[in-house]
Amino acid sequence: MNRIPVAVLGATGTVGQQFVSLLDNHRQFRIVELVASPRNEGKRYKEACNWKLNHSVPDSIADMVVKTSDDPLSAPILFSGLDNSVAGPIEERYAHQGHVVISNASNHRMDPDVPLIIPEVNPDHFSLVRRQPYRGAIITNSNCSTMFLSMVLAPLKAAFGIKSIHVTTMQAISGAGYPGVPAMDILSNVIPYIAGEEEKMEQETQKILGSIGASGLEPARFPVSAQCNRVPVYDGHTETVVVDFETPDKPDIDRVREVLTEFRGLPQEKRLYSAPRQPIIVLDQNDRPQPRRDVYRDNGMVTFVGRLRRDPIGDIKMVVLGHNTIRGAAGASVLNAEAFIALDYFPV
């Protein structure tokens, strides 16, 4: 197979490093360009990047010379790990030039003509790119915490309907990027505020689980109430979720477990390269899932559910866990690109 040339925007950052790692030796993609801030222009990647992953910089990438966002790029697909403070106009410019920008940044997620994609959940939303004003396209994945919540809610919504959601997150420090949260703030502590995070979860979940109509995307109507906390965990966002169903005949726990366990989507049907065989794994142990014991399984691409039980206010409650910088960020974008190609949207 001739691999498609790709570029990584924001290649030296936390998400950019995950992109580099996931795309190295990918069967469909080949990194040909790396883009970072102007201070790194002309440096070799291994010199420009303060590499933080648990393995060495890939040999195929280490000596690649870093470009800046002012440079023209040849790669048709660009994976964006850019910071939100700069991502918006840079991604638009490249999309106008004809590139397909697969973005982890939040700037365009809520644009009405930009698909906010989880391929197992809403691949039909890719059709929104046909409404965009670009020669290329912009495609986004969700906030990391939204990713795991929406993955679990999708099969439950299809089976039972959803009336309301309450979610509280315990989010890892890697979600704040490097150097992240100051040690004196986070050690032995919980910080009950992450700027913009609660709004993202509440709005993005409704967009992902909405439907495409003649006039565009209609968000899901059920309310989502989110409370977000930063905790002293390195990788892995944990969420406690309460779900109130629409169906008058409330399902028992075994039926809910069955729906979650049997859930599959387009990535599994088409056996996409980055797709986990089982996107949701339900754990039966009373003390699972746990970030340290579970989050790195299946290449960090699985959403874990545990402690499924009745709730005295809603219908059920559970604990949800996922890897925030892989399935919640870079891995989500790579899988989005694979799905976009598999559905014959590329080239645009």
Cα 140 to Cα 147: distance, rounded to the nearest angstrom: 12
pTM above 0.95, yes or no: yes
Q: Are residues 234 and 124 in the same domain?
A: no
pLDDT class for 178, splitting at 50, 70, 90? confident
pLDDT digits (tens, 9 = 90+) for 106-139: 999 999 999 999 999 999 999 999 999 999 999 9
Q: In 3D, which of 167, 307, 145 has the Cα closest to residue 236?
A: 145
Q: Are residues 338 and 307 in the same domain?
A: no
pLDDT digits (tens, 9 = 90+) for 180-227: 899 999 999 999 999 999 999 999 999 999 999 888 999 999 999 999
pLDDT digits (tens, 9 = 90+) for 59-79: 999 999 999 999 999 999 999
Radius of gyration of the chain (CA): 20
Q: Are residues 93 and 211 in the same domain?
A: no
pLDDT digits (tens, 9 = 90+) for 36-47: 999 999 999 999
pLDDT at 324: 98
Look up 166 and say whether it is catalytic.
no
Q: Are residues 186 and 201 in the same domain?
A: yes
Q: Are residues 56 and 150 in the same domain?
A: no
pLDDT at 254: 97
pLDDT digits (tens, 9 = 90+) for 333-345: 999 999 999 999 9
Q: Are residues 93 and 181 in the same domain?
A: no
Q: Are residues 294 and 186 in the same domain?
A: yes
171 within domain boundaries: yes
Q: Are residues 247 and 288 in the same domain?
A: yes
348 within domain boundaries: no
347 within domain boundaries: no
Distance of CA 159 to the CA centre of its chain: 24
Alpha carbon of 79 to those of 20, 52, 92, 136, 165: distances in Å? 10, 19, 13, 13, 32
| Secondary structure of residue 123 in the 3-state scheme | helix
50 within domain boundaries: yes
pLDDT > 90 fraction of the chain, expressed in percent and rounded: 96
Total number of domains constituting the chain: 2
Q: Which domain holds residue 73?
A: 4-143+330-342
Q: Are residues 97 and 192 in the same domain?
A: no
Catalytic residue from among 99, 108, 237, 323: 237
Strand partners, 244: 164
pLDDT digits (tens, 9 = 90+) for 82-113: 999 999 999 999 999 999 999 999 999 999 99
128 within domain boundaries: yes
Q: Are residues 218 and 133 in the same domain?
A: no
Answer whether 279's CB lies under 8 Å from 267's CB: yes
Q: Are residues 221 and 187 in the same domain?
A: yes
91 within domain boundaries: yes
pLDDT class for 1, splitting at 50, 70, 90? low
Q: Are residues 148 and 92 in the same domain?
A: no
Catalytic residue from among 49, 125, 144, 166: 144
103 within domain boundaries: yes
153 within domain boundaries: yes
Look up 144 and say whether it is catalytic.
yes
CATH of the domain at 74: 3.40.50.720
Answer whether 204's CB lies under 8 Å from 121's CB: no
CATH of the domain at 186: 3.30.360.10
In whole numbers, what is the pLDDT of the chain averaged over residues? 97
242-261: average pLDDT: 96
